[in-house]
Amino acid sequence: MTIICGVEEAGRGPVIGPLVMAGVNIDKDDEHLLVEMGVKDSKLLTPEKREALFDKIKQAVVKYEIIILSAAEVDNALLDPNMNLNWLEAVTSAKLIDNLSPDTAILDCPSTNIPAYTEYVKNKLNNKSVKIISEHKADVNYPVVGAASILAKVTRDREIKKIKDRIRIDFGSGYPSDPRTVKFLNENYETHKEIFRKTWASYKRVVEKKKQRGLTDF
């Protein structure tokens, strides 16, 4: 039995909410089962389809793990001058791989420099015997990575819903390109500080504008 692991994230870019990463182990000979149940890159599926597949995937795979990094945890990591979003994803991927202990791990590489990213992940692993395959569009090309993307995406969507239910405001997707998110950010950047990624340029711009207005008023 050869165990392959797919690793993928959801929520790299949003200014609101967590970054979620998932790892999924499956016997290489059983990967076709994921295809047969309709698993593919989460972005190619409707929210309803992702939800329907979520529990099916967990039941079909050998093992899985999901790591939720809150907005504050993302910020704290990125305050380190030697850390960036790609390296944070790599470090978290290594944690998932060490915990799941597959024979081979397949990563959807976020970096333009695939060899450097792959080497960085390898260096962070405790278990150096794991073979690492790092590719662009791995979530499209490997069903096991697609399965991980679904677990990550559904988990993040649920976390976002929890935030919306708690503050009783629909702020949209949480991405800086979403007009509803931009409006909410401008109006609530101080009221709900804990849900924002304060290291994000979009958040910093709003704070800076507020400071400038304050100086002008003074």
By C-alpha distance, which of 87, 104, 99, 89 is closest to 126? 99
Summarised one tens digit per residue, pLDDT across range 57-97 is 999 999 999 999 999 999 999 999 999 999 999 999 999 99
The alpha carbons of the chain give a radius of gyration, in whole angstroms, of 19
> To the nearest whole percent, how much of the chain has pLDDT over 70?
97
> Can you tell me which residue has the tokens 């995406």?
153
Where in the chain are the domains?
Answer: 3-165, 169-217
* Local confidence band at 212 (pLDDT 50, 70, 90 cut-offs): confident
pLDDT for res 165: 97
* Superfamily name with CATH number, domain 169-217: Ribonuclease hii. Domain 2 (1.10.10.460)
Summarised one tens digit per residue, pLDDT across range 112-171 is 999 999 999 999 999 999 999 999 999 999 999 999 999 999 999 999 999 999 999 999
CATH number of 3-165: 3.30.420.10
Q: Where does the chain have alpha helices with state H?
A: 31-36, 47-60, 71-78, 85-100, 114-124, 138-141, 143-167, 179-188, 201-217
* Local confidence band at 214 (pLDDT 50, 70, 90 cut-offs): low
Residue type present at position 26? I
